[in-house]
Amino acid sequence: MTCQQWRQQRKNMTPLRPTSPAYEERVQALVNISKELESERYHDAKRIDVRKDNVLRLWDYLQELLKARRGRLDKNLTLQRIFQEMLYIIGWMDDMKARLMSPDFGKHLLEVEDLLQKHTLLENDIALQAERVQNASAAALTFANGDTYKPCDPQVIHDRVQHLDLCYQELCSLAAQRRARLEQSRRFWNFLWEVVELDGWIREKEHIFSSLDYGKDLTSVLVLQSKHSAFEDELGARRANLEQVLAEGEKMIQSKHFGSPKVQECMDNIQRQWQQLEELAAFRKQNLQDTQRFFQFQGDADDLKAWLLEAKRQMSSDDVGHDEYTTQRLLKKHNTLKNQAIKNGATIDALTKQANALPEELHNTPDIQRRLKDIKDLYMELMSLSDLRQKKLD
């Protein structure tokens, strides 16, 4: 029986309620007449008293029947209202299930974060409905237990309560499944965000490491080497970030994440780019070191040539002194200069080795070969001049 049918039953009882007081007045009048006849010692008073008692007994019985029926109708109406409440709850849960079964799990990180916030609100609504479900179930079960009048088959009540509980459990399960999938989606898009950010950094550094600027002199090369050293430190710090990203990707693949194919592809690409970046950094470092050695050679060669020229100027002097004292002083100075020249012979050998250690494309340049030849020729000339001056001073 539906709630509307129970309301109709109660409506049918309405005419009985206003007539009850009227009939009660008639019963009371009957009792009063019976008392008057008894006080007047009516000859058939006993028979009238018996009939009066019978009417009173029937009247009381009627009142009990009306009260009992009203109670049963109230119970039925209450139970139907509970059933209606259950239907409202199930309808609400059906709406929530449709939202929880949405295939939209976000197409980028910000969208996933927004969906997770909305899902949290849904979970709060679902949690708030738990008390409503419990209250409806508990209220319905009161009509299925005990020995009093039961407005419905207890099994029907138990079935409805069980159905309501199952619907709520299914709703909670769907909410947990959607949260897990959204968390997976956030993990996936966060991984891609980390990869994109790392890819951008690598491309930026590739531009720097690909620079063909290796300095124009020793000072500028040393500045560039200092900058490159700072870049290498940054590269080392970023390597830890790369390892974290790769470790996260490996965990996702091991857990059979839905985005595993894309994760593996990103991992392969970023590892390849990172290897290329490290090779590029090592290549630039080597080139800077070679350039530094080249300019260092030029500087050392220029310094040595300048010394040799100065020594040659002194060795070419015609001053042999005007007396024994000045001659001895000049001879001592000559011997000191000659010893320095001999020592610089080893410097020339070291400079030659320094030139030979340069990369072939630098070692074979006309400038390097010319400088070495000029220094060696100047050195031989200096040693010849030294012998001549030695003879003059002796």
The CATH number given to whatever domain includes residue 114 is: 1.20.58.60
Indicate the residue among 151, 182, 213 that finishes a domain: 182
| Residue 201 pLDDT | 93
| Residue 24 pLDDT | 72
| 281 assigned to some structural domain | yes
| 98 assigned to some structural domain | yes
| 2 assigned to some structural domain | no
| Distance, CA of 15 to chain centre | 71
Q: Which residue has the tokens 């090369």?
A: 221
CB atoms under 10 Å from CB of 282, counted, come to 12
| Residue 339 pLDDT | 84
| Residue 16 pLDDT | 44
- Dihedral over alpha carbons 119, 120, 125, 128 (to 10 degrees): 150
pTM for this model (two decimals)? 0.67
- As for how many domains the chain has, the answer is 3
| Distance, CA of 208 to chain centre | 30
Q: Do 209 and 156 lie in a common domain?
A: no
Q: By C-alpha distance, which of 152, 126, 128 is closest to 140?
A: 152
Return the SS3 of 113: helix
| Distance, CA of 176 to chain centre | 19
| Residue 180 pLDDT | 93
Report the distance separating Cα 322 and Cα 345, nearest Å.
Answer: 32
Q: Do 176 and 196 lie in a common domain?
A: no
Report the distance separating Cα 49 and Cα 77, nearest Å.
Answer: 42
- Dihedral over alpha carbons 344, 348, 354, 356 (to 10 degrees): -170
**By residue range, what is the domain housing residue 154?**
90-182
Q: Do 229 and 156 lie in a common domain?
A: no
Indicate the residue among 277, 292, 307 that finishes a domain: 292
Q: Do 264 and 337 lie in a common domain?
A: no
Indicate the residue among 262, 292, 322 that finishes a domain: 292
| Residue 247 pLDDT | 93
| 267 assigned to some structural domain | yes
| 335 assigned to some structural domain | yes
| Six-digit token string for 180 | 């897990």
Q: Do 158 and 249 lie in a common domain?
A: no
| Six-digit token string for 320 | 């042999």
| Residue 151 pLDDT | 65
Residue 95 · residue 174 · CB < 8 Å: no
Tens digit of each residue's pLDDT, the chain (394 residues): 444 544 454 444 444 444 556 677 777 777 777 677 667 666 676 777 777 778 778 878 877 878 878 877 777 888 888 889 899 999 999 999 999 998 988 888 899 899 999 999 999 999 999 889 998 888 888 877 766 666 677 888 888 899 999 999 999 999 999 999 999 999 999 999 999 999 999 999 888 888 888 888 888 989 999 999 999 999 989 999 999 999 999 999 998 888 899 999 999 999 999 999 999 999 999 889 988 888 888 888 888 888 888 888 887 777 766 777 777 787 788 788 788 888 888 888 888 888 888 887 777 778 888 888 888 888 888 888 777 877 776 5
Report the distance separating Cα 106 and Cα 189, nearest Å.
Answer: 9
b/e string for 356-389 if b means 16 or more Cβ within 10 A?
Answer: eebeeebbeeeebeebbeebeebbeebeebbeeb
Q: Do 133 and 195 lie in a common domain?
A: no
| Residue 21 pLDDT | 66
Residue 161 · residue 133 · CB < 8 Å: no
Q: Do 178 and 201 lie in a common domain?
A: no
| Residue 13 pLDDT | 44
Check residue 376 and give left, alpha or beta (phi > 0: left; psi -120 to 50: alpha). Answer: alpha
| Residue 193 pLDDT | 94
| 283 assigned to some structural domain | yes
Residue 178 · residue 119 · CB < 8 Å: yes
Q: Do 285 and 300 lie in a common domain?
A: no
| 56 assigned to some structural domain | no
Q: CA triplet 185, 187, 193: central angle to 5 degrees?
A: 100
Return the SS3 of 27: helix
| 203 assigned to some structural domain | yes
